[in-house]
Structure 1
């Protein structure tokens, strides 16, 4: 990958899109992970306004520390970057007090995890409306179009996706080129939706290098029986998530009424 050219291409694309949309810039949630760090830096390089927002909900301290380190680096480097912090923990707790919990614990935990992401999306769009900004998405190609590892209308609810055509490994290449803090580059990828230290790999059961490989094999028309051992396991994990999350990757189904009965 020609990293410098990819960076310039994305920055130009972002600037062009925002200018044509008649907005002032971008708002982005900063999680302390590589995807939001790279995306926010790309947005900052456009020269347009960039608002970075921390939105903790019972957040693990390591995530908070990394997010603050990145924001500090970004605001020192770019005059067009500002930041704010919206503590959503009280909002989340208020929500929990008004709903009932019907189901096994794992189901409840997942529903609440997705609720965290949707509260953050609502916050981002509040500030986007306030300051005439676009919500910049942070999903990469494996997450968005491979395993669908994101929350529908949560972190999947965005205006544009600058890095959604890049594999996770390529996002790390950009991170190295953009001098993203070492603490973020070395951190285990995590969605941070459970308030603990569980990583994406803990939840999915396969690493991002394995998922990238499986995605390429799937695109090449391979089947699980073409592999053995760990490769077969990783491929099956990829296919399971890919099939289960198809609804996130395709347009919303519309019931089209035949003209002869309208």
Structure 2
């Protein structure tokens, strides 16, 4: 079977350099409207993946994202947001990008074409069979990602892939292939557009659903979030006001004493004294 890269097919829109700004924006939006529908078609595969990740993370396993260029940056972005959003320890969700941290801002020549480097990086992190590796590549052909998945799967590690082409090489190396077919890009071959948008949506679904199933959310609230700024302290305080019926100032003092909404709620549930020190009562937020 021949492999055709839909991501490289000509755009359905032509003469872009002759269009008005309004026409360009209408065209981009028209194409973007197709992304959510394409992602929806992938829900059964995403569900299988999240279920498997949760089982492994409950045993202490980790989630690795791997990609190059836009795909790699999106994986690193999603991984970096897990500790502040859900209070997970750093290192439970890890994003790897071809070319390393420099590639987050600058292209690193030929980094994605090195088929050995991805697996080497996984080994440097002590990859094991409780971990999960998700390869992200719009084209589905990135050597850095494809070979890493091949080696991970050969070593009994769960593998998944996210791409925008059917029957892609990356899909053949994945236990759970996710093929999000969004069609040709508005600018021919520019997979930072629809493919990138769809990848971000799927990564949001994977990590958010996983964290909820791991108990990092109560109701619909981020009770384990890090209190890294005034806005988040205020948000956490209001959660406690709603949950425990406390005055705002007392709720804030308890939050600052315990360090998270979850810890305050756990203390309340176990009937530990919910007291705050003078230091936290006078904290200037």
TM-score, with structure 2 as normaliser = 0.28
Richer in helix (by share): 1
* Structure of higher CA gyration radius: 2
TM-score, with structure 1 as normaliser = 0.30
